[in-house]
Amino acid sequence: MNTGARTQKRGLARAAIVMLLAAMTVISACSTNNAGNGATESGGDKAKTVRIGYQKYASVNILKERGGLEEKLKEAGYGVEWTEFPGGPQLLEALNVGSIDFGHTGEAPPIFAQAAGAPLAYLAHSPESPKAESILVPENSTIQSSADLKGKKIALNKGSNVHYLLVKYLEREGIAYSDVEVVYLPPADARAAFESGNVDAWVIWEPFYSVAQLATKARVLADGEGLVKNYEFYLASKDFAKSNTKAIDVILEQLEETDKWAKDNQPEVAKLLSPALGIDPAPLEQALAHRAWGVIRVSDETLKAQQSIADTFLKLELIPEAINVSDAVVK
């Protein structure tokens, strides 16, 4: 590709990200009860409010359903507001526009968000959980190996962790990214397309992975083992991270305590999440068995792994320009 064409393509990539985030801003605004920069003041006692964004499933959702964070933050002088988001990209756009202070996503969404200028800060992450995402094919599919994916339609949520899983899987199997047709669909739409045969494969994370596999008897072509780390990251806006270390410490301590409990009580966790997620306990138990537990503060090694993802996305021109992941850390 010549320099002019490459510049034009990167310009289009930048424009695409801007348009995507602009659309997400509308979603975030509709989803969020309170907007502003940093923790908000509430009531005459001037207590601060931490606005936490969460996705269905994972440790933050378990913490919310189990309870206890509200009381601990109250002791530290903070109230809590919770806002649910359908995915990491939408959650980080809400953080970008100042609608939330703290949230959690997988590895890939912060890369796209930082490339779009979001003032985010990495705080901590879960241990590696590579088995918690996979590439599914229908039970009776003719796809038996990676070679059979050439020319096929593969559904995934753009900018999510599974985007990177597909990239690394194709790279390992010696298949060019351009040899497959990637169809960008959120989980609900992707499942419908998968079951109707409108796509040939689906790259998806838990708990959608276990729910679909058990319901449709889909086959796992590959999971993330040996390919990706699949961290769950805890992030905040930079301003909030700089000014509210006490609140962040309380949240991370409560997440760690929740994970210790959840690791030893997975059937109970499945029952706790079931009504909130509208998912039967059985697939939730399978999903919980695929993940690791714990809270690890961000290290240089973690940032190096994130930088590798960013560099890979830049090479594929999925982000418009290079980023330095270390810039998204509060020193």
Q: What is the pLDDT of residues 85-102, one digit of tens each?
A: 988 888 999 999 999 999
| Cα dihedral 260→264→268→274 (10° resolution) | 60
Question: Residue ranges of the chain with pLDDT lower than 50?
Answer: 2-37, 41-46
Question: HSE of 121 in the Cβ direction (CA atoms, 13 Å)?
Answer: 20
3-state secondary structure of 195: helix
- Kindly state which CATH superfamily the domain 3-129+231-328 is placed in: Periplasmic binding protein-like II (3.40.190.10)
Interval 111-137: pLDDT, tens: 999 999 999 999 999 999 999 999 999
Over residues 229-250, the pLDDT tens digits come to 999 999 999 999 999 999 999 9
CATH 3.40.50.20 fits 130-223, yes or no: no
Query: What is the domain partition of the chain in residue ranges?
Result: 3-129+231-328, 130-223
Domains 3-129+231-328 and 130-223 are alike in CATH topology: yes
Q: Taking the CB of residue 226, how many other CB atoms lie within 10 A of it?
A: 10
Q: What is the pLDDT of residue 38?
A: 52
d(CA 202, CA 210): 13
| Count of other CB atoms within 10 angstroms of residue 324 | 10
User: pTM of the full predicted structure?
Assistant: 0.83
